Amino acid sequence: MANNSIANIFAETQDTSLATPAMNRATIFFLITIVAGLSCGVASFIFGHEAIYNNTREVPWGMLISTYAFWAITSTGLCIYAAISHLFGGTRMAIVSNRMVWMSIVCIMAAFATIGVEIASPHRMIIYNILSPNPTSNIWWMGTLYGLAVGCMIVEFFGIVTGLARIAVILGTAGAIAEVLANSCLGGVFATLPSRPYWYGGQLPIYFLTAAFLSGACATILFNYLAYKIRGKEMSEAVKNGVKSAGKAMLLVLILYAVATFWRLVMYYVGGDELGRIAASALVSGPLSINFWVMEVCVGLLVPLLLIILSRLENIAMMAFAGFLILIGQFVARYDLVAGGLLVPVSLGWDNAPTYLDYVPSVFEFGVIIGSISVVCFGFLIGERVFGKVFEQKEHH
């Protein structure tokens, strides 16, 4: 009886208007892309990570680590906004918070998929995280807290679907706290490495949290815009107001993030460590300069800022495009952060070490990234199809 009851609940949440051949083809396409993309990562367990990925002993982390960080940070932002909206139901963004919870789960799953094929022995991480915990390790706390956050969000979303509002609010709040702490520990993984001056210091955990608020606002606008676009429907005034509120948050945090980025670079030129200054120069005038000036600054900051101003926070399509560009900039920014800290040899000045090491992501790494993007696209379409009516609820508690 219980199974039938649950089946009936989920049957009532489906949006049958999306059961179209075009949507089915799109869903199948992304599913196939997930399998193909992540198979590139699975190949590393067969042929060896060193043969599949272009990481080396000198550059042990690469684009897969930055992709993991991007999805994890975006998930944190979505979770925070959803928790605030559910906890304080009077906010305008409350009406779109259910979709934010679902997409937060989807984004963290994309992060787990990426890191799962990046590390050599993911099964050991799961086993020894429990059997041999290390509370002095940032990575242990990061993995534990993200796992806790995912569990809370899944139960929270189940509570939303089944109408258990109190459970949803409690676990949503717990999940958001866990995500914030996990995001902080993710920044701490980089910030506590004194051998990498470009990362070392107390600013990265806060910087990552700022990026989470920015990416979360962008993702909120983009996913809601796409949700109505694939249905061919107009947003209600309440939903528009919720998206506009996300737009205001996006504009505010974009400015704060730009200021933070500026001062992060300036500090290396006014008395910072020499290796940190050389790493910063990799972005300003070195091998990462095109990434930084074109993708981070122009595509990820200046053009979106102009679009937001032109939209007057009224044109949803323009704001969604601005959010999309910011997310692209954020993706590149995570890569530049990881690469910038690793391309400068710690032995610079000894043994004829080059100023910058070489690292170019392999085809297999790009395959995994495409697979992780497909996880998000697939999760988005499945969520709209299976839980569409939940996302359209007009009241939240």
Provide the residue count of the chain: 397
The reported pLDDT for the residue numbered 7 is 63
How far, rounded to the nearest angstrom, does the alpha carbon of residue 309 sit from its chain's CA centroid?
25
The reported pLDDT for the residue numbered 396 is 44
Task: State how far the Cα of 250 lies from the Cα of 391, in Å rounded to an integer.
Answer: 21
Q: What residue has token string 């200046």?
A: 302
Task: State how far the Cα of 289 lies from the Cα of 277, in Å rounded to an integer.
Answer: 14
Least Cα distance to 98 among 111, 110, 85 occurs for 85
The reported pLDDT for the residue numbered 395 is 45
The phi and psi torsions of 384 (rounded to 5 degrees) equal -65, -35
Helix, strand, coil in percent for the chain, rounding step 5 = 80, 0, 20
Look up residue 365 and give its two tokens: 């790494």
Task: State how far the Cα of 146 lies from the Cα of 235, in Å rounded to an integer.
Answer: 33
The reported pLDDT for the residue numbered 21 is 93
DSSP assignment of 6-70: HHHHHHHH--GGG-SHHHHHHHHHHHHHHHHHHHHHHHHHHH-HHHHS---SSS---HHHHHHHH
State whether the Cα torsion 109-112-116-117 is positive or negative: positive
The reported pLDDT for the residue numbered 1 is 45
Task: State how far the Cα of 157 lies from the Cα of 83, in Å rounded to an integer.
Answer: 12
pLDDT, tens digit (0-9, with 9 covering 90-100), for 113-166: 999 999 888 888 888 888 888 888 888 999 999 999 999 999 999 998 888 878
The CATH number of the structural domain formed by 26-391 is 1.20.1630.10
Least Cα distance to 362 among 62, 58, 113 occurs for 62
> Helices (H) and strands (E) in the chain — how many of each?
15, 0
pTM of the model: 0.94
pLDDT < 70 regions, the chain: 1-10, 89-90, 349, 351, 393-397
Label residues 238-274 b or e (16+ Cβ within 10 Å = b).
ebbebbbbbbebbbebbeebbeebeebeeebeeebee
State whether the Cα torsion 94-256-377-177 is positive or negative: negative
Least Cα distance to 118 among 52, 184, 190 occurs for 52
